[in-house]
Structure 1
């Protein structure tokens, strides 16, 4: 048990101070008013006395009043019963994942091992899947390991769109990840706009750990905001950007990934740039990211407190009412006996 406001116990001495300092309360008694009172005093030679009297409390009244004041003072000091510490955990890091949904993500040049066993019990051979299908599978597995983080999802093509605001519901995040498809955001690639939109999403974040995983397989072709300039703003906001280029640095032509820009973005924001030219490489990259920026919890603990004043105030009121009733009944009996005697 503990007192929240122990200094309030100083009020215990307040009645004794008032009793010593202030004059006693005088209650007028029954009297007859005489217009010639001064003559009678002069004729009899007696000194007049006060017509008021100080009524004395009974012992039970004094005890009830003292007990009431002590209990009320204790209640003001707020006695509490402290319970066992309760530890709560909440997300310690916000991670936004921005995925390129341009038309080039439809290319079936990635291998994805099948998780379904064949008739002889062996796993089926890896099958050719599109870049987006491979990415979905790997990101879904990656999200399972981010217990403790809030995840968000941005899709971008010709424009950038917030698909999932930051949430701790991994299952919801995976469901919306699975529903996205190529060209739903347009056929082009707006890397700078995706970074800019992530900055706006992080404005509502209360955590100091902010990470953006930017996944693309092309070059910026339609952004209104230059990707490098957007990265500078992100760095000022404390956002680390990890870039993942889905393709090879040896690719030339329209399908070439702008690794130079991705490297600049990562370097400006103190992040890292990766080359994911295969499903295996992407899986390894996601594992590296998981080690570099592991999922993080923030723990808060507090002591539950239960107020005890009702357990003091309740019995005190009962005692006070019982004393008042007993004194009232006793006074009524005395009056009745006097009336009967008269």
Structure 2
């Protein structure tokens, strides 16, 4: 900690009284006089020249000391002395990242492998990898959208990664319906980004199927997202060689990514998804801005408070002294 002055140039005013004292004449205090009708004859008889009855009142030493100390205290307070604390560094988020997860019934298929758990469903594998991914996004705000037959905002943008992970773990298949509404998920993300002030806006769209129930066409939704400056990274959980009802519409996912200047990825295994998330981290690394400031504690109250007490004490002492002197003169008369 250290002490500093915010306005040190105010200290130059300390010499102001010296200039005032030299430039302006002293204040003359009128004194009591005796009025006589024969003043001219009195002057002639005594042979003395008349002079002004005013005089410069002499201050007592304690008054002069109090005046000087008060002026010094006022000037120092105007210079604003502050006590500087330890520097505080805060981080401000630099990028908003929304993750939209498909919770349709096909996400229950157990065709992915985790070293810790063996063969697991697509959703369990995705949750595990997204948890790891979220820990690497320090400085970003994360949001979460789940979609099936409809799209729902599960987590608005937040810097609380632990909260985001908790709500991610609570997701389950078909909680948003059995179908797949990719276009509606993109449309909902656009609305979520309306509340964002970040210039870096990214949507990671994860699905294992084709759009079957959207009211908004996915490609049209992508054009709207591009107009709002949202980049969409698509992750298809499945293989391009898959046929039938479980086929992932990679053609549409590629169009969505290209329209928004994003990228499309294929995640046909746990390792592939992990590599995809690492690529997203490299393409759009987490961002944050640092703000540094010094906490300040104003010291002028601690200076002016005692000074006012001293000044009040001097005033009371002089007032009492003058009153006792007047009483003594009255008693003598």
TM value normalised by structure 2: 0.85
Query: What corresponds to 1:121 in structure 2?
Result: none
Query: What corresponds to 2:212 in structure 1?
Result: 221
Q: Compare 12-21 and 257-266 and name the one that shifted more.
A: 12-21
One of 118, 137, 143 as aligned partner of 1:152: 143
Query: What corresponds to 2:65 in structure 1?
Result: 63
Query: What corresponds to 1:123 in structure 2?
Result: none
Query: What corresponds to 2:328 in structure 1?
Result: 337
How far apart, in 1, do the equivalents of 2:277 and 2:259 lie?
Answer: 21
Query: What corresponds to 1:114 in structure 2?
Result: 116
Query: What corresponds to 2:276 in structure 1?
Result: 285
Alignment of 1:122-271 (within 5 A): 126-127=118-119, 129-271=120-262
How far apart, in 2, do the equivalents of 1:136 and 1:322 lie?
Answer: 74
Query: What corresponds to 2:5 in structure 1?
Result: 3
Query: What corresponds to 1:83 in structure 2?
Result: 85
Q: Is the contact between residue 159 and residue 185 of structure 1 (CA under 8 Å) also seen in structure 2? A: yes
One of 310, 319, 322 as aligned partner of 2:310: 319
Name the SS for the 1:198 alignment partner.
Answer: helix
- Closer, same or farther in 2 for the Cα pair 1:11/1:292, shift >3 Å? same
1:41, CA displacement in angstroms?
Answer: 5.5
Structure 2, unpaired ranges of 5+: none
How far apart, in 1, do the equivalents of 2:157 and 2:190 lie?
Answer: 13
Structure 1, unpaired ranges of 5+: 116-125
Name the SS for the 1:153 alignment partner.
Answer: strand
Name the SS for the 1:317 alignment partner.
Answer: helix
Q: Compare 1-10 and 155-164 and name the one that shifted more.
A: 1-10
1:305, CA displacement in angstroms?
Answer: 1.9
Q: Is the contact between residue 192 and residue 230 of structure 1 (CA under 8 Å) also seen in structure 2? A: yes
How far apart, in 2, do the equivalents of 1:10 and 1:226 lie?
Answer: 72
How far apart, in 2, do the equivalents of 1:238 and 1:19 lie?
Answer: 69
Query: What corresponds to 2:103 in structure 1?
Result: 101
How far apart, in 2, do the equivalents of 1:154 and 1:26 lie?
Answer: 84
1:154, CA displacement in angstroms?
Answer: 0.3
1:177, CA displacement in angstroms?
Answer: 1.2
How far apart, in 1, do the equivalents of 2:28 and 2:324 lie?
Answer: 26
How far apart, in 2, do the equivalents of 1:13 and 1:199 lie?
Answer: 64
Q: Is the contact between residue 97 and residue 154 of structure 1 (CA under 8 Å) also seen in structure 2? A: yes
Equivalent pairs counted in the alignment come to 327
1:159, CA displacement in angstroms?
Answer: 1.9
How far apart, in 1, do the equivalents of 2:189 and 2:33 lie?
Answer: 90
1:214, CA displacement in angstroms?
Answer: 0.4
Q: Is the contact between residue 41 and residue 48 of structure 1 (CA under 8 Å) also seen in structure 2? A: no
Q: Is the contact between residue 232 and residue 262 of structure 2 (CA under 8 Å) also seen in structure 1? A: yes
How far apart, in 2, do the equivalents of 1:41 and 1:163 lie?
Answer: 103
How far apart, in 1, do the equivalents of 2:234 and 2:265 lie?
Answer: 6
TM value normalised by structure 1: 0.83
How far apart, in 1, do the equivalents of 2:291 and 2:178 lie?
Answer: 46
The two structures, once aligned, show a CA RMSD in angstroms of 2.9
Alignment of 1:7-26 (within 5 A): 7-15=9-17, 25=27
